[in-house]
Every structure is written in C-alpha cells, then in structure tokens.
Amino acid sequence: MSDIDRKSKVVVIGSTGLIGAQVVRWLTAGARAERYQVLGVTHQTSPGLDLEAPASIAAFFDAHRGVDHVIVAAGAARFGGFDALDAGAFEVGLRSKLMGQVNVAMAALRTLPRGGSVTLTSGELSRAPIPGSAAVALVNGALDSFVRAIALDAPAERRVNVVSPGWISETRARMGLDPGHGVPARDVARLYLTALEGDLHGQVVTAATAG
C-alpha cells in the first residue's frame, strides 16, 4: 500500500533541458496535472542543487521532505578521442553525471515515502559506443549497473530505475547530424513516465523495455 494518496510531488532535476523540459510537459499535461505537483530544479534555480556539489544535494533533500518521486535528466560527461581522454576528461563525467546522480539517488531513497521512485538517466552509448564516447559510455554503464544493484538494497516499496536514451533528434540536429536517426525528446520523455508510474524496479528503461 502506498503512502501517497494526495497529489504526488515530483522533483525534476534538469527541468529546463531538452529531455527534462519534455518530462515536465508530460507531467503537467491533461489528467496528470491533477495528479502531480512538479518542482523543476537545476543548479541555477532556487531552490536548486548542483549535481557536482554533494553538499547541495544533501541540503536539498534535507529541506524537501515531502518529495514522492525524483527524476534526474541532467549530468555532464565529456566526449573526446583517445588523445583528449586525460584524467580531467574522465573526471567530468565521474563527478557530474555519475556521482551527481548516485548522490541524488542515495539521498532520495533515504527520504521518499512508500510508493516513491527515483529515475536516473544514462544513455545507449554503454551498449552501442561510437568513436570518442569512452568517457561517456563508462559513466552510462556504471549508472546502469548501480541501478540494478542498489534496487536490491533500497528501502522496501521505493523503486529506482534508469532511463537509457538513444541520441535525441534535437541534439543531432544541433550537431549538424541527421535528426531522422534520433528519437524526439518528447518520445524519450515518455520513458520517464513509464519508470515513475509503472512497477519497474532496478531496470534500465529503453524504448524496447517500455514496449
């Protein structure tokens, strides 16, 4: 039985980004507007948090005890070919996209009520790398492994999943690549609803998982 019988409060970290803004659109459209109260958070909002600053993550969850669901659609990692992959290049993804999201998940899982969920973001480069993606693929794979494992230790009736998007069409267009080979951000954003609303736990959510 869920503790959540009022309007559920959803924190979307990265709410102004390509994916995050579409997640917020889904959560605030139609009948979902009656079910969810959305708090969009970035490192420029107030309240906000910086994925790269663990103290800001801890402070946010200390100050926001009524949160039911947390979605993270943020986190940086560095693309670069072999010669560009020095320690600093790897460190960007480890500090931001990996440990930023791990720290959010751990803080959230400690405070969410029964029925609550955490949804993180990795990416398909862990499964289908391209040249120059090693530092990103490393982080994506680590996030997928983390979610599968922490699901075994998470407090009862709190779920944790990770959405693993393919290339977003809009991102490809910005890079001068054919957007037709990508997935629209709005379609990717639906995967976060699947994770939040379904009963998935410890899953890497892709278009194939979501069906």
Which of 50-58, 79-87, 143-151, 195-203 is the region at the interface with ligand NAP (rule: CB under 6 A)? 50-58
Give the nearest distance from C-beta 91 to ligand NAP in angstroms.
14
Which of 31-39, 61-69, 144-152, 160-168 is the region at the interface with ligand NAP (rule: CB under 6 A)? 160-168
Which of 3-11, 44-52, 109-117, 154-162 is the region at the interface with ligand NAP (rule: CB under 6 A)? 44-52
How many Å apart are CA 76 and CA 92, to the nearest integer? 7
Q: Which two tokens stand for residue 173?
A: 């267009």
Closer by beta carbon to ligand NAP, 5 or else 46: 46
CA of 156: how far to CAs of 43, 113, 144, in Å?
Answer: 30, 10, 20
Listed in sequence order, the residues at least 6 apart from 103 whose beta carbon sits closer than 8 Å to its beta carbon are 51, 54, 57, 58
Figure out which of the listed residues 28, 171, 206, 209 binds ligand NAP, where binding follows CB under 6 A: 171
Angle, CA of 48, 144 and 78, to the nearest 5°: 65
- Nearest Cα neighbor of 171 from 182, 155, 186, 163 is 182
Closer by beta carbon to ligand NAP, 42 or else 111: 42
Residues 87-116 touching ligand NAP, rule: CB under 6 A, are 96-97
Closer by beta carbon to ligand NAP, 121 or else 161: 121
Query: DSSP letter string over 14-51?
Result: TTTSHHHHHHHHHHTSTTHHHHEEEEEE-TTSSS---T
Q: Given the rule CB under 6 A, which residues bind ligand NAP? A: 13-20, 42-44, 49-52, 73-75, 77, 96-97, 121, 123, 165, 167-168, 171
